[in-house]
């Protein structure tokens, strides 16, 4: 069994990176790109997921790592809720909504 030595090796961080790329991509299109408040909040939430996993891994203790993972999970919940707003505003399709929520 291998030991994770860098946060980039963590599968959850890799998925969060993919999610962040998708959020940036969909929020650059059409009316979504002009909805600065929602667009920027969703981007911040996505980046927060990645950042908290990384920061927690690099922290001093396992207890802190677990705390940061909890923050990442909270940001994922925030982002899932914001996907509904984006869908209801017509910025993303039902299929995109499901796919993005699955990544969360």
53, 68 contact by CB (below 8 A): yes
Q: Is residue 5 part of a domain?
A: no
Q: Is residue 4 part of a domain?
A: no
pLDDT at res. 85: 98
Residue found by looking up tokens 């069994």 in the block: 1
Provide the domain count of the chain: 1
Domain residue limits at 84:
10-103
CATH number of the domain where residue 66 is located: 1.20.1440.60
Q: Which pLDDT tens digit goes with each residue over 20-72?
A: 999 999 999 999 999 999 999 999 999 999 999 999 999 989 999 999 999 99
55, 13 contact by CB (below 8 A): no
- Direct distance between the N- and C-terminal alpha carbons of the chain, in angstroms, rounded to an integer: 27
Give the C-alpha separation, 44 to 9, whole Å. Answer: 22
DSSP 3-55: ---SGGG-HHHHHHHHHHHHHHHHTTSGGGGG-HHHHHHHHHHHHHHHHHHHH
pTM of the model: 0.93
């Amino acid at each position: 069994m291998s030991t994770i030595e860098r946060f980039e090796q963590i599968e959850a961080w890799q998925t969060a990176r993919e999610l962040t790329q998708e959020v940036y991509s969909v929020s650059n299109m059409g009316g979504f790109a002009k909805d600065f408040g929602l667009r920027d909040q969703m981007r911040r939430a996505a980046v927060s997921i990645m950042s908290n996993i990384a920061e927690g891994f690099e922290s001093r203790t396992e207890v802190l790592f677990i705390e940061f993972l909890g923050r990442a999970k909270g940001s994922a919940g925030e982002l899932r809720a914001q996907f509904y707003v984006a869908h209801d505003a017509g910025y993303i399709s039902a299929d995109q909504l499901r796919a993005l929520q699955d990544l969360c």
